[in-house]
Chain A
């Protein structure tokens, strides 16, 4: 493990909340507002970290463990994901499977903590979360499988490095398949991060929420962990998408990483633009979108497996 591999996780830890600021400012620009301060997410985290928490008497240790385990799992995921050509510190054959399951752990513990409160709202949110993620997971896994098959590698760092390092063998050879994978992963990116059109991160209406309603009862440090974890998750999934579509490889790790960070910024702007230009889907329609993403991934895999 070379010291240069520490660059992606460090950038992630520092800059992840900033992605949300970019999304929010983009939405504000569309709405004709000035928007919140660029560092608002950091202020919020600092505020929450200083606060105490209130725990309902119906909750058990599961409720308290939820945010900690979730954050820990996201942190490990952060260590697996490369930033374009800049490799991740933790990289081994098969780490793509670990990534998918780490995201699963995050969700599992968030759901458990939500169910632990016994509130009908949180139960409703948990049931929605589980239903939708059951459809989003195949899209993610099949997409990663297609990438692994295309590059012949099983490590995320290797995959991204191959795709961005050798566009002639990847984008030019299997362009349609890669487009499908990128579309599928972009939908998973929006769904997993509770963005419009799947979920509305700004709504105050418990009955319509998916992710937000599950964390209603958390406060203080727990909430800070959840929010920071959510920002990291946005970063993790975003950097996979950006790593695929930005085939930049200068050889200098720092430059590669910074280019990808700029790409992430562009992705955040795109997310904000999507949120500003369309309404949220009816809850009944969300599974159709996610199954669509799964179909894209499956098609990509079939294209790549097809003998020519």
Chain B
């Protein structure tokens, strides 16, 4: 009987020594068994264990049980790849190979993820960005369309290669890494003055999501809890972020099919939601709001009343604007059966967030792994079963509705008390994994502390990291002219992926 993975809960610090150190086969079997029983890999990353060894840590999340499991193993030069049996880890293994030069043996397609410089000098090869062994379809009638890394709309850089037959796409390969800033490397040794700012800018549109995950991680390490009022305000900010981004996405989807009314109104409403966040903390993206131990800004009764009024007006308008989408046949003709991802694919590859819920998978960290206010005030999980652009748009519209209700409820019944508590010293030699449902999906932060309680490793998994493969698969068999629409329906982060 091999040692079982260490069962733990979301944002619960456990001694690193308690994480079982398995052998090659055991590690593999443990992960495959857990995945076959309904878990998925939330994070898989390496951490130097001394003597030239690398310790691989794996965070398994079981949505149904709401439990996390931690396991690890030590590797030297190579290990058996899991990607063939558990495709969800394919990008994690490529990342490990790129960062540490440890080869996942038998990986179906080992190539760079971000073209980042290796975290260790020995063994790993430096790679040049954009130079990779790209997938190619050969043939007289096949042609390749390369887009990016510079985009027509001034957005983030990414490189896309379409293998096309006329207007049909056989395959899309996405090559990222242009936004790599070395955040994980910069976070090691922290937390210090800069840490929270790195976290808030991991993915600018998920400022609150990442900041909440980070602060919950720190609070778990310190064995403390933020005040109830702070949890409520964090919940409000998180849902405001969701409202603003979902609204912006719905408008952008309408814009991509050339449907002006919704595009214009959602553009305005997104600004309204951002301004509500600004009314709380002075920053439209919520920078400076969430702080370890609580939040830096209170919502006084007068402010709360004003926010309730603004929210009610914005919610009324957004209902009208999104309702137009479903009532316009020409819009629905574009949304339906475009960029379909099957539920099977979604479960196999472990997509998260809106992309998963649009395939009928009820995966939502707010319900499955509740933290903060979501332990007391549940937000219903919104799913749709078709897996196409319409499903992703519709799930967003449904979530807008439920987020609005949640914020309204919180504003009406804010717990009394302080909003910020001082945190005690962080425990040494601990590991903690925190899952927070950002607007795009599950934000996963894993922190390992050294003997002084400082981060020896801080691993961040943005939801985009899981979902980029989904976009590539959604495009198969589609029209190349529908790519912008599919892309917008996922709306993934480049900098969140590239870190």
B-binding residues in A (CB < 8 A): 27, 30-33, 120-121, 124, 127-128, 196-197, 200, 202-208, 275-285
- A27 neighbours in B (Cβ, 8 Å): 260
- A280 neighbours in B (Cβ, 8 Å): 257-259, 330, 334
- A276 neighbours in B (Cβ, 8 Å): 260-261
- B330 neighbours in A (Cβ, 8 Å): 197, 278-281
**Are A120 and B144 interface neighbours, CB within 8 A?**
yes
**Are A33 and B484 interface neighbours, CB within 8 A?**
no
Q: Could you jot down 29 A-B contacts, CB within 8 Å?
A: A31-B261, A31-B265, A32-B265, A32-B268, A33-B264, A120-B143, A120-B144, A121-B145, A124-B145, A124-B480, A127-B166, A128-B167, A207-B483, A208-B484, A275-B260, A276-B261, A277-B261, A278-B328, A279-B254, A279-B328, A279-B330, A280-B258, A281-B334, A282-B333, A282-B481, A282-B482, A284-B167, A284-B479, A285-B333
Shortest Cβ gap from A179 to chain B (Å): 23
What is the 8 Å Cβ interface bit string for chain B, positions 213-239, against chain A (1 contact, 0 not)?
Answer: 000000000000000000000000000
CB-CB nearest in chain B for A199: B258
Shortest Cβ gap from B250 to chain A (Å): 13
CB-CB nearest in chain A for B259: A279
**Are B258 and A205 interface neighbours, CB within 8 A?**
no
Q: Enumerate B447-479 residues with CB–CB distance to A below 8 Å.
A: 479
Total of A-B residue pairs, C-beta within 8 Å: 89
Pick from A196, A197, A207: contact of B484, CB below 8 A.
Answer: A207
Shortest Cβ gap from A170 to chain B (Å): 33
**Are A206 and B147 interface neighbours, CB within 8 A?**
yes
CA distance A208 to B167 in the complex (A): 10
**Are B152 and A278 interface neighbours, CB within 8 A?**
no
- B254 neighbours in A (Cβ, 8 Å): 279
Check B146 for interface membership: any CB of A closer than 8 A: yes
- A284 neighbours in B (Cβ, 8 Å): 167, 479
**Are A279 and B264 interface neighbours, CB within 8 A?**
no
Known A120-B146, A278-B328, A279-B331; contact A207-B260, beta-carbon cutoff 8 A:
no
Check B153 for interface membership: any CB of A closer than 8 A: yes
Shortest Cβ gap from A211 to chain B (Å): 13
What is the 8 Å Cβ interface bit string for chain B, positions 240-282, against chain A (1 contact, 0 not)?
Answer: 0000000000000010111111011100100000000000000
CA distance A267 to B153 in the complex (A): 31
CB-CB nearest in chain B for A123: B143
- A128 neighbours in B (Cβ, 8 Å): 167
**Are A196 and B258 interface neighbours, CB within 8 A?**
yes
CA distance A202 to B331 in the complex (A): 17
Shortest Cβ gap from A285 to chain B (Å): 7
